Amino acid sequence: MSSEIPAVTGDSGPELAALVAGGTVDVPDFPKPGIVFKDLMPFFGDGPTFRTVIDGIVAHYGVGSFDVVAGVEARGFVMAAAIAYATGVGVVPVRKAGKLPRPAFSASYGLEYGEATLEVSEGAFVPGQRVLVVDDVLATGGTAGATMDLVERAGGVVAGFTVLMELGFLDGRERLGPRKVHALLTV
């Protein structure tokens, strides 16, 4: 039996891809039969790894290339806050339905395992503000597409989309073109 670690790929190179892969646990049949859930909690729980990957995201875009970070509830919040802190910009939460206290734009879409609605507060962005959208996993691209729609309806301009992991076989990236998509790990 070979002890070689299989090569992994991503838009910021094999080292960062391997850090994300090493912090991911595949959970079969969650949240429903046939879905392999990518549990990234070990990644988030490992401080040096988390910092290295967040630094890699910031390096990929460059400080000054976006004005605000939009994080998709809930794991996107964790990444968004770290990127925002590292670059000195603010965070806009993209929330699940019914959580925002003031008038909001709303977008519904299909998930790999169901239906969902996301919301962004009206006036969340200064018109023309460049927005980096972040989430943990890009699967079918429904969540990312709905988020980009919301960002634009709320007056922002999508500067790019970053995910820790892209499920390449679901072709989510194709739905988001021509916008820039950055995935640390593609499986």
- Round to whole Å and give the CA distance between 153 and 127: 10
Residue 22: partners with Cβ closer than 8 Å, 6 or more residues away: 43, 49
| Catalytic residue flag (residue 174) | no
Q: How many CB atoms lie within 10 A of CB 111?
A: 14
Is the Cα torsion angle 37, 187, 146, 81 positive or negative in sign?
positive
Q: How far is the CB of 135 from ligand AMP (least distance, A)?
A: 5
Residues that bind ligand AMP (CB under 6 A): 35-38, 72, 75, 111-112, 135-144, 172
Q: Name the catalytic one among 4, 15, 75, 152.
A: 75
Whose Cβ is closer to ligand AMP: residue 36's or residue 59's? 36
- Round to whole Å and give the CA distance between 79 and 55: 11
Which of the 8 DSSP states describes residue 19?
Answer: H
Residue 179's identity, in one-letter code, is: R
Q: Name the catalytic one among 112, 119, 166, 173.
A: 112
| Catalytic residue flag (residue 122) | no
Q: How far is the CB of 122 from ligand AMP (least distance, A)?
A: 23
Whose Cβ is closer to ligand AMP: residue 67's or residue 166's? 166
Whose Cβ is closer to ligand AMP: residue 59's or residue 172's? 172
User: Active-site positions?
Assistant: 75, 112
